[in-house]
Amino acid sequence: MRVASATLRAEFAALDEESNLQSFAFYKPRYAFTSSEHYQRQLEDTRDRQKGMLKDKEAATCAEEWLVNGSKAEGRKQIIRP
């Protein structure tokens, strides 16, 4: 039981320290961007790819077929298959 207690206290201390850092707006970086310009370019590229996927009807797919108002044709209008 003592080992579990010591382990929990160590985990709590680490979480408490992380919480304190976050309260002062210090965060561990999640991405390896070298500058805000690099981040901005990557964000723009991502958005351009998303727009392209929407335009090319590749953003989402659905393998199911269903009826809308009793019509398969109306159901297909709701789903665009690749």
Tokens representing 62?
């659905």
Instruction: Categorize the per-residue pLDDT at 80 as very low, low, confident or very high, splitting at 50, 70 and 90.
Output: low
Residue carrying the six token digits 């044709």:
73
DSSP letter (8 states) at residue 59: S
Residue 22 has pLDDT above 70, yes or no: yes
In this prediction, residue 76 carries a pLDDT of 81
Residue 43 has pLDDT above 80, yes or no: yes
User: Is the entire prediction scored with pTM above 0.85?
Assistant: no
In this prediction, residue 45 carries a pLDDT of 96
For residues 58 and 82, the answer to whether their CB atoms sit within 8 Å is yes
